[in-house]
Structure 1
Amino acid sequence: MSEDLRLMTLAEVSALFNIPLRDLKRDTKAGRAPHVPIGRGTERVHRRMTAEHVRAYQEVRAREVAPQQPQQEQPVDPLRQAIQATKKATARRRGHRAVAR
C-alpha cells in the first residue's frame, strides 16, 4: 500500500503535521476537511485521512490563516458620528416604548 493511500487516524494526523486535534475534529465534522468516514451510522463515526486529504486541508488552513491586509482607517467626521449617535438613540427609545393601538 503506498503512503498516499494509507488511512491515518485524526490523532496520527494531528501528531505528524502539528495540527491541533480539536481543530481537526471540528473541521472534519463540519465538512471543511476532507476525510473518509469509517463505520455505520452517524453517532460514532470514525474519521480517517489520507496524505492527499491532509495536503488539501493544510492548503485550506493556509488560505484562512493568511494575514489580511489592514484596512485603512477612514477619516473621522464628527458631524457624521453625531448623526449616527442620534439615530441609534432614537431607535433605542422607539424600540423600548410600548405601542398603543
Structure 2
Amino acid sequence: MRRWSILLAAVGLATLATAPAVAAEMMMKKGETVMMMPNGRIDRVMHTDKMMSETMMKNAKPMDGCVVMMMGADGKMYMMNDMKMSNGKMACATH
C-alpha cells in the first residue's frame, strides 16, 4: 500500500507540473470521442449525434467517479478507479 501511495504521489506531482500546458489539450469538447490505446497513444474523433446515438451509446456507461490512467515502466497502459490513499483522502480529491 505504501508503494502505491508513493507512486500516486509521484504521478500527482508530475501531473501538477505539466497540468497548465496540457489542460487545454486534455479537455474534451461536446461531440468528441477520445480513445486511449494500450501503448499510450491517444486518438480523438469528432462524431455526429446520429453516430453517437446509434453506435457508441449502446456500449457506453457513465463514469461513476475519477479514473486514474498510468503508463507503466513495461510500456503498458494501466487504469484504476479512484482509491483511498494512506492519508484517508481519495487519490483524485488531491488534484
With normalisation by structure 2, the TM-score equals 0.20
Structure with bigger strand share is: 2
With normalisation by structure 1, the TM-score equals 0.19
Structure with bigger helix share is: 1
